[in-house]
Structure 1
């Protein structure tokens, strides 16, 4: 026997597979392990709805904020700027500013502008309304997925269902505390707004009705820290969380967690301009409709940095920072359906899948030995190595194993041995023709290579398409199939070829092709 590079690579692959599979197979405390999906370990299943009509209202408020900033920057005098669920209204005080205002309004995508003299009415076209509603659902899916990824959940499923519903599956959520924390993180709007306090009427915050506040272009918001506390702020925000670029947890001088946030260049400019013109006034930091603080502006604040303080625990501050970083929801979401998947379902699924896997593996294992003799044993070694490699690679990348994923492993067992069947049959055909052992092995692999590559590459392409366009469990199936294909090509083509090269001299000396390849002596003699 002599070593060759193929055997060395094959041995290294087996060693890699065994080492990285042990944590998953033995469920050790150390090492990276495969994460079980919702269908195998249980968890939380939710169906969420999106209030898309409120996304339109938020879009109109953003337009109003832009008009307000434009008028202050360009010194265009306007009055009565208000925004409701259908439109933005304001009055232009100087008709000479009409060309500049018209040019600015013309740049609003999907905007519909109607004005009668100096009275302006800005709304969205029906097409823009539909686009905004669709964007609200798309953005909610992306935001929820980002939040859950940063939360640390492995392979959560977040997918559109129907027109404006979202399916969320969270494997591993078992306790009521974990469920509550995940639900709050998902549903939190995390809408950050910087709003000006109405300095002239702020003392009337406790007596002014919402309707009366609206007549002055104001809104009454509750204090997040003081029960019963209220603030009277301007309805149109100075800027919102869409200009936020980062949010991180820090600690103040009292060692209490706070959240430091940063704004983009546009937000920093608006923030700096406003604080420079309003020294001595109050700036309200509003999060999800509640005022967390309203500090006095002592000087112009440049750089686009701010801080949110509150009575948080460290965990709450971390979750809020995650929600801010991942972006505010354009529209609120609400629960349509919630279902906890118990671990007993997972245990039954695992048991059924293991029976199928072990049963299929055993039948293939026995068939290969009976039909191909020693060649079958070599193929079985490659098959075992293939299973270890699949588990190891999935564990190394922290992949989630779902029930379809286990089905993919079962299917891979048959696919992995298929390459060895093709190779063994090509070798046997050449042995029947009376060629030497060396020539039969080399030409057998050469002749089988095209068929093996064609079959595996086409299957791999299909698996990639499933992964790109599939969701949830379909991705799990595609991942296991893809890993299995690549592993089988390594073990079947490279590994077994190396073993044959190592044993070639012994096979030739024995002259017992029946023992090594299951070749019929009568056919070989003929």
Structure 2
């Protein structure tokens, strides 16, 4: 055989050596995983390690690779939830947010339209009544100035709100186009907030996907139960700032229309009556951090964006001396008196906090509030025992599959079958190394993809060896027959693998969940089998032929 260039030999050896070293940590999963977790915790703590973390770090040599294949929900165990987002909740919030703007706009023409009030109406509708119906068209024109024009994908112009006159009232509703856009924004925001909360809990490789128009699939490996996951993502941390109308100790007091009766968090039996429409909401919050107040008590500092800062500053300037309630998840956590104009859009939340409580609250506020309520349609807890059984079943299937393939190759091609078996083992090792390096999650379908790849990996060797047999029957020398076998089988190998790659890409693109897990290992297996079956096998055969220089090959 014509000798392979030295640089190619070195490259093949380096790739194989890297694959072995990068795959080794997966054989010591229970030692490497605590090592990695301890390193991450130490990094988050600024380099300070506890004795337990130091012991975990010592479980694995720092000079060896430590990347692992993350295990999916079906292998590690964990929680599975299917949630339905109540997107209609956001319509009410949009309508409630439009009312102060409409009221302020009509104040400018109050001499003509008279008194302005909000009439009872469905939650997704704003009905405004004026005391002088003769000026309804003037009021209608003023409110329509607040409507934001939008452009649809077809190029047609539309508006976010529909403002119409019904009888003597002005009626404001969300347009159908804005409802669709709002639904999409609500789903995207919910996905991002859930992902933030799950990531901050330190869980591994969560799956968070949108399903249909209003559903979200959440799968988190390694978490204790579905109820624990619901508690994690269901914490709303909804922050709002409301004007205080009065206080009371009567839990059954009637707050009046468009008002709220909320309890004080740290004062049992004490209640606040608040204006239902908040001055500023947590949606306009851009930062929150643990802090201390003037008396060195734990607190949380916050900062609004420009729009929120402007509203916060205007309200405090116009309401000096009044109480201003800070509401978190339906409880008044603080109701300070406005002493002066608070410019700059920043402030501090005080209360009966601990240092740990301020840290947790700051994290929840930064992650944001869920924009709408979620109903959980399906919940499952997958125990780690089931995952361990799946891993053992996958190992058994992989080992049996590899043994059967190896025995077949040896029985069919003798010594050349052993060359193919060396390439087969390296194929699996390199595939595991790549999966570990890119952080691809291994699932039960992924194990099926690996097992299938082992069977497909020897296809290229079968084509090569059969081609070598043909060349030997035509009277070629052993060295020349081997060389021609590789050269002339390459085009058929390439065609077969390209079609396989296209199938893998389509499964990954169009599929989700388990299908994608299968597609990842299947596609990587095709790429690694191309390398091992063609280049590694040729390298091993070339070494054999150059050392033994056989006059005849029994194939």
Q: TM-score interval w.r.t. the shorter chain? A: 0.7 to 0.9
Check the 8 A contact 2:143/2:163 in 1, yes or no: no
- Structure 1 pair 289–452 and aligned structure 2 pair: CA distance change class (3 A): farther
Paired residues for 1:128-147 under 5 Å = 129=179, 132=182, 136-137=186-187, 139-147=189-197
How far is the alpha carbon of 1:251 from its aligned partner? 5.8
**Is the aligned partner of 1:511 residue 2:551?**
yes
- Which structure has more relative contact order (CA 8 Å, sep 6+)? It is 1
Structure 2 unaligned regions, length at least 5: 36-65, 151-158
Please show how residues 196-345 of structure 1 align to structure 2 within 5 Å.
196-198=243-245, 202-203=246-247, 205-207=248-250, 211-214=254-257, 217-249=258-290, 258-311=299-352, 320-345=361-386
Q: Identify which of 5, 24, 27 aligns with 2:26.
A: 24
Q: Out of 98, 105, 122, which is 2:147 matched to?
A: 105
Q: Kindly indicate whether the alpha-carbon contact (under 8 Å) linking 1:246 and 1:262 is maintained by their aligned counterparts in 2.
A: yes
SS in 2 for 1:24: helix
Aligned residue for 1:392, secondary structure, equals helix
TM-score, structure 1 as length reference:
0.82
How far residue 506 of structure 1 moved from its aligned partner, in angstroms, is 2.8
Question: Offset of 1:330 from its aligned partner?
Answer: 2.4
| CA shift in 2, pair 1:49/1:98, >3 Å | closer
Aligned to 1:403: 444
User: How far did 1:103 drift?
Assistant: 1.6
Aligned residues between the structures: 503
Contact kept? 1:7, 1:499, Cα under 8 Å: no
Q: Does residue 153 in structure 1 map to residue 194 in structure 2?
A: no
Q: 2:94 aligns with which of 59, 62, 65?
A: 59
Do 2:117 and 2:130's aligned partners in 1 also have CA atoms closer than 8 Å?
no
After TM superposition, the score normalised by the length of structure 2 is: 0.78
1-structure distance, mates of 2:17, 2:492: 29
User: Secondary structure of the residue that 1:401 maps to in structure 2?
Assistant: coil
Q: What corresponds to 1:11 in structure 2? A: 13
| Residues 49 and 335 in structure 1, CA contact (< 8 A), matched pair in contact too | yes
**Secondary structure of the residue that 2:458 maps to in structure 1?**
helix
Q: 1:522 — aligned with what? A: none
- Could you tell me which residue of structure 2 aligns to residue 524 of structure 1? none
Of 362-371 and 463-472, the range deviating more from structure 2:
463-472
CA contact (8 A) 2:239 2:328 kept: yes
**Alignment CA distance shift 1:376-1:5 (3 Å):** farther
Counterpart in the other structure of 2:218: 168
* Contact kept in structure 2, 1:6 and 1:495, CA below 8 Å: no
Aligned partners of 2:9 and 2:223: how far apart in 1? 44
- CA distance in 2: counterparts of 1:12 and 1:506, whole angstroms: 22
> Which one of the candidate residues 419, 424, 428 is aligned to 1:383?
424
Q: Which moved more, 1:457-466 or 1:435-444?
A: 435-444
C-alpha contact (below 8 Å) 1:2/1:503 kept by paired residues: no
Distance 1:239 1:14 in 2: 60
Take 2:359 and 2:10, find their aligned partners in 1: how far apart are those partners? 48
Separation in structure 1 between the aligned mates of residue 102 and residue 267 of structure 2, nearest angstrom: 33
CA distance in 1 between partners of 2:552 and 2:292 (Å): 78
Q: CA, structure 1 residues 495+254, in 2 after alignment: closer, same or farther (shift >3 Å)?
A: farther
RMSD between aligned residues: 3.6
Q: Which residue of 2 aligns with 1:366?
A: 407
Identify if the C-alpha distance between structure 1 residues 93 and 206 changes in structure 2 by more than 3 Å, giving closer, same or farther: farther
CA contact (8 A) 1:4 1:501 kept: no
Assess if the C-alpha contact under 8 Å between 1:112 and 1:125 holds in 2: yes
Quote the Cα distance in structure 2 between the aligned partners of 1:210 and 1:25.
Answer: 66
Match of 1:193 in 2: 240
- Contact 1:41–1:172, Cα closer than 8 Å, also in 2: yes
Q: Relative to 1, partners in 2 of residues 1:124 and 1:326: Cα closer, same or farther, differing over 3 Å? A: same
Judged with a 3 Å threshold, the aligned counterparts in structure 2 of structure 1 residues 482 and 6 are, in CA distance, closer, same or farther, namely: same
Given that 1:158 and 1:166 are in contact with CA atoms closer than 8 Å, whether structure 2 keeps it comes out as: yes
2:458 and 2:25 map into 1 onto residues whose CA distance is: 26
Partner of 2:455: 414
In structure 1, what is the equivalent of residue 153 of structure 2?
none
Cα distance in 2 for residues equivalent to 1:248 and 1:476: 39
Residue 44 of structure 1 corresponds to 79
Counterpart of 2:38? none
Q: C-alpha separation between the residues in 2 aligned to 1:399 and 1:254?
A: 50
**Paired residues of 1:151 and 1:319 also in contact (CA < 8 A):** no
Q: Find the counterpart in structure 2 of residue 478 from structure 1.
A: 519
Q: Which moved more, 1:87-96 or 1:374-383?
A: 87-96
Flag the 1:270–1:356 CA change in 2: closer, same or farther, 3 A. same
Seen in structure 2, the aligned counterparts of structure 1 residues 111 and 412 have a Cα distance that, compared at 3 Å, is same
User: What is the deviation of 1:52?
Assistant: 3.7
* SS of equivalent to 1:434: coil
State the alpha-carbon separation in 2 of the partners of residues 121 and 210 from structure 1.
31
Structure 1 residues 123 and 386: CA distance shift in structure 2, 3 A: same
Deviation at 1:277, TM superposition (A): 3.4
What SS is found at the alignment partner of 1:213?
coil
Q: Residues 404 and 477 of structure 1 are in contact (CA less than 8 Å); yes or no, is this contact kept in structure 2? A: yes
Residues 75-132 of structure 1: per-residue CA shift (max 9 Å, x gap): 6767435786132233568966764432213648442222369843212346655664
User: How far apart are 1:388 and its partner, in Å?
Assistant: 1.7
In 2: Cα distance, 1:76 partner to 1:357 partner: 79
Q: In structure 1, the residue corresponding to 2:325 is in which secondary structure?
A: strand
Pair 1:494–1:85, CA change in 2 (3 A): same
Gaps of 5+ in 1: 519-526
Identify the match of residue 80 of structure 1 among 103, 114, 117.
117
Distance of 2:294 and 2:458 partners within structure 1 = 65
Q: Which whole-Å CA distance do the structure 2 matches of 1:363 and 1:409 have between them?
A: 15
